[in-house]
Amino acid sequence: MVMVLREAGSLSTDQTVDGLVTATLPPYDGCMNEACFEKIAGVNSPLFLCDHAGNRLPSGYGTLGLARSLFETHIAYDIGAAHVTRALAADFGAPAVLGVFSRLLIDLNRGPDDPTLVMQLSDGSIIPGNRAITSQELSHRIADFHAPYHRAIQTEIARCDASPVLISLHSFTPAWKGVKRKWEIGILWDKDGRLAHPLMARLTAAGFVVGDNEPYSGALEGDTLNRHGTHAGLPHVLIEMRQDLVENWESAHQLAVRLKPILSAALADMQGTD
């Protein structure tokens, strides 16, 4: 069982971020009295991150004017990513930090000055609650939802006795604009290939169809790994999983089981111990 620590800004042990949760969360100071990130306890490296784990919204935002059904789709969160993150953290005995609220509220994997921080249009869906966002509301979302998540990551990094490895988990749609995506796993990286290179080699050897900076580029200034990995000199990698491989708990768990020895081997390769 994964233990989730309760502290300022974190989710308590009896709450879940899977699905649209309507229960009232325990109050604390900050984040509009609602938990805005989930923290999993652990003592070992790597530190797992999941920017788009949750698909719900804090009280007061309703559905941002969208049909509730859209919050079960990829525009609201990274399907399956939270399941895999929790499973890997448990298997490694490692810490993890997961975003609770939907990326439609604010994208935790963007810098505060990124124009796509709060999306007004996503995959053809207009986001009414974001279309006329004021600078005051934008500042509020950054202060109450974006900044606490990144402070939590910084806190976990500071707690490590040695420099941790950062592994971020995301997922992508099987097709885009009518074109099927062949990759099963994408490895995103920018300037630091210490973990990316051995991980891609190990995934390929295990039979995965692997994308090197596909279907997205890992070179995004101000994103989570750029901020906490590149600028801090910490080894890191972003793992993108095709959503048909992690679409439910069982399939996500199976993929996590497959990934565990591959990640372990790649981490050993990186350290030159394998």
- DSSP-assigned letters across all residues of 122-135: ETTEE-HHHHT--H
Look at residue 15 in the predicted model and tell me its pLDDT: 34
Tell me, what amino acid is at 118? V
Look at residue 51 in the predicted model and tell me its pLDDT: 98
Q: In this structure, what DSSP letter does residue 52 have?
A: T
Length of the chain: 274
Query: Could you state, in order of their start, the residue ranges of all structural domains in the chain?
Result: 31-271
- How far is 261 from 92, CA to CA, in rounded Å? 10
User: Looking at domain 31-271, what is its CATH homologous superfamily?
Assistant: Zn-dependent exopeptidases (3.40.630.40)
Whether pLDDT at 222 is above 80: yes
Look at residue 29 in the predicted model and tell me its pLDDT: 34
Strand bridging mode 125-126 / 166-172: unpaired
Look at residue 6 in the predicted model and tell me its pLDDT: 27
Helix, strand or coil for residue 170?
strand
Tell me, what amino acid is at 49? L
Tell me, what amino acid is at 14? D
- How far is 102 from 221, CA to CA, in rounded Å? 21
Lowest-confidence region among 17-26, 110-119, 258-267: 17-26
- How far is 44 from 214, CA to CA, in rounded Å? 29
Look at residue 34 in the predicted model and tell me its pLDDT: 63
**Residue 67 is encoded by which pair of tokens?**
């049909």
Q: Comparing C-alpha atoms, which of 176, 190, 175 is closest to residue 221?
A: 190
Dihedral (CA of 92, 20, 218, 164) sign: negative
Degrees to nearest 5, angle at CA 97 with 258 and 227: 105
Look at residue 145 in the predicted model and tell me its pLDDT: 96
Mean pLDDT of 241-250: 96
Beta bridge partners of 188: 238
| pLDDT tens-digit series, residues 27-85 | 223 344 468 899 999 987 899 999 999 999 999 999 999 999 999 999 999 999 999 99
CA dihedral of residues 56, 61, 65, 69 (deg, nearest 10): 20
Tell me, what amino acid is at 107? D
pTM, to two decimals: 0.87
